[in-house]
Amino acid sequence: MDDRHVDVPGAVPVEQVLRSDPLYRLLGGARLATPWVLGVVIGLIVVVAIVLGPSADSHFIYTDF
Amino acid sequence: MRFLRFLGTVAVATLLTLAAADAIARAAFPHLLRLERDFSATYLRRVLSADRNRRPIVVLGDSALWGYDIHADQVAASILMRRGWPIENLAYEGGSTANTYAMLRVLLHAGVRPRLLVFNVNLKEFSAGDSAYRTLHPTVERLVWPLLTPAERALLVPHVKQTLDAKIDRALGNVWFLYGIRSDLRDKLFGHTDMAHAIRAWTNGLSGERARLAVATAPTADRYLGTYDLAPLTRSNVEVVFLRKIVSVVERRHLPAIAILTPTNHTLLHEYIDSPAYQGQLAYVSAILRRAGIRVLDYDANFPARDFIDNDHLTPAGNATLAAMLERELPR
C-alpha cells in the first residue's frame, strides 16, 4: 500500500486552491516566482533601510554646530 | 544543488533590484541649491564633476552664507541663482577659514576653475573656543587630507574614524552611489538628519515642545558671552594661518575673489564686540586679504537687528538684502 497518498473524500488538491488565488496567478506559480520575488523583496528592504535608517550608521554625521 | 540554484537566483534578483534603485537614485537625485547639513563625499564629488566645465561663481564659507535656520531657496546665493547668476553654494554649517581653505583645495584638485570666489570671514571662528576651530567637516577632511602637507595636518584635529567598519563603509560609499549619498537623501527627503529626527520634530511641534524650546533658547546677549575672543590676532592663531593659506592659493592661481566680513548683530552683541579690539581684528584680517588684491566687502555692521535670527545668521529678509548688495559687486 502507498502510504504517501491518502484519498480524502471531498478534498480539493492544493494546486487547485493555489491557482484560484489571484496573487499566486500574478506571480506565475510559486515554484517559479519564489526566488525572484524573495530577491526583489530583500533588495527593496535594503533600499528602504538605507533611506529610512537612522543616521547613527553614518560616519560623517556633523551636528555639533 | 537545487538549493544552491535557489540561492543564486535570490542573489541575482537582489543585485538587480539594488542596481535598479541605484540607477534611479543617480538619475533622480537633483543638484541642490546648497549642500545638505551632513553632505557626503559622493554628493560633493558629483557637484564638483558637474562644475568642472561650467566655471561657476563659487560661494565658500560658514552657516552665515549656507543659510542657517532658513529654507535653501531663501539663502542669498539661491536668490542670486534665480536671477541667473551661475552660482555654486559650497558653504556649509560649521565652516571656518580652515574649512574654506580645505574646500578650496578640494575643488581646485577636482579641476573646478571658479570664475569668481566669494567667501566670508567670521571673527567668532578665530576664537579657540569655537566648535569649528581646528576642525574640518568630516567629508571635507576625508577628501582634503591626502592633499594637505604634514604641517597643515598638524594644525587640525582629525575626526574621521579609521576603524575597519568605517573604512568598509567609505569603500562601499565610493562604489555604490545610493549608499554613498544616503545622508544627503535623508536630509532632502525629511528635512532632518533622518526619519527619526523628522518624526521627533513633528511630535515636538504637536506637543508644544518646539515652542517651549524656542523660548528657552531665544538668542539673548548672555548666550554669546565668550563667543568672541578679542585678544589681538597673531600668526599663531590657526584660523589666521589658514586665512593666509587661502590668500596664498588665490594669488598663486590668479583667482578673482571677494571676501565678505560677515554681517554681525551689533545690537545683540553690543557689550562684547563694540570695542576697539574687535575693530582691530577686523582691520587685521582685512589687511591680509587686501594685500593679496582680494576685494573686501565689509558687511560687519551693515544690517539692522531685525535682519538677524541670532548673532550672525540672517533672516530671509536679511538674505534678500545681502543678495541685492552682493549682486552689485558681481562682474557682469
Q: In this complex, is the C-beta atom of B138 within 8 Å of any C-beta atom belonging to chain A?
A: yes
Residues of A with CB below 8 A from B9's CB?
35-36, 39
Contact (CB<8Å) B13/A35: yes
Which residues are B295's β-sheet partners?
Answer: B258
Indicate yes or no: CB of A38 within 8 angstroms of CB of B169.
no
**Closest chain A residue to B132, measured at CA:** A65
Strand partners, B117: B58, B257
Interface of B with A in 73-102 (CB under 8 A): 93-94
Query: By CA distance, what is B41's nearest residue in A?
Result: A60
Q: Using CB atoms, which residue from B9, B170, B196 is nearest to A36?
A: B9
Terminal C-alpha separation, chain B? 70
CATH architecture type of domain B31-160+227-327 = 3-Layer(aba) Sandwich (3.40)
**Residue B6: what pLDDT?**
87
Tell me the residue type at B223: R
pLDDT tens-place string over residues A4-57: 666 777 787 777 776 777 777 776 665 656 888 899 999 999 999 999 888 764
CA distance B100 to B258: 13
Distance from CA of B15 to the nearest CA of A (A): 7
Shortest alpha-carbon distance between residue B252 and chain A (Å):
32
Please report the pLDDT score of residue B263 as a whole number: 97
ipTM above 0.90, yes or no: no
* Phi, psi angle pair for B259, to nearest 5°: -110, 135
At a CB cut-off of 8 Å and minimum separation 6, what does A43 contact? B13, B14, B15, B16, B17, B18, B21
- pLDDT mean by block of 10 residues, chain B; 332 residues: 87 96 96 94 96 95 96 98 97 95 98 97 94 91 96 94 88 94 92 88 93 88 89 96 98 96 96 95 97 95 96 97 96 80
CA distance B268 to chain A (A): 20
Residue of A nearest to B179 (CA): A50
Quick one: pLDDT at residue B165? 86
B187 touches chain A (CB under 8 A): no
Contact B82, B23 (CB under 8 A): no
Q: Are B250 and B294 in contact (CB under 8 A)?
A: yes
Give B15-62 pLDDT, tens digit per residue. Answer: 999 999 999 999 999 999 999 988 999 999 999 999 998 999 999 999
Best residue in A32, A38, A62, A63 for a mutation probing chain B (most B CBs within 10 Å): A62
Residue of B nearest to A55 (CA): B194
B138 and A54 within 8 Å at the Cβ level: the answer is no
In chain B, alpha helices (H) = 2-28, 41-51, 63-66, 76-82, 97-109, 138-144, 150-154, 164-175, 177-180, 182-190, 195-207, 209-216, 238-253, 270-273, 276-291, 316-327
Domain ranges of chain B: 31-160+227-327
Contacts of A62 in chain B (CB under 8 A): 37-38, 93-94, 137-139
CB contacts of A32 in chain B (<8 Å) are none
Residue A60 has pLDDT above 60, yes or no: no
For A61, which residue in chain B has the nearest alpha carbon?
B38
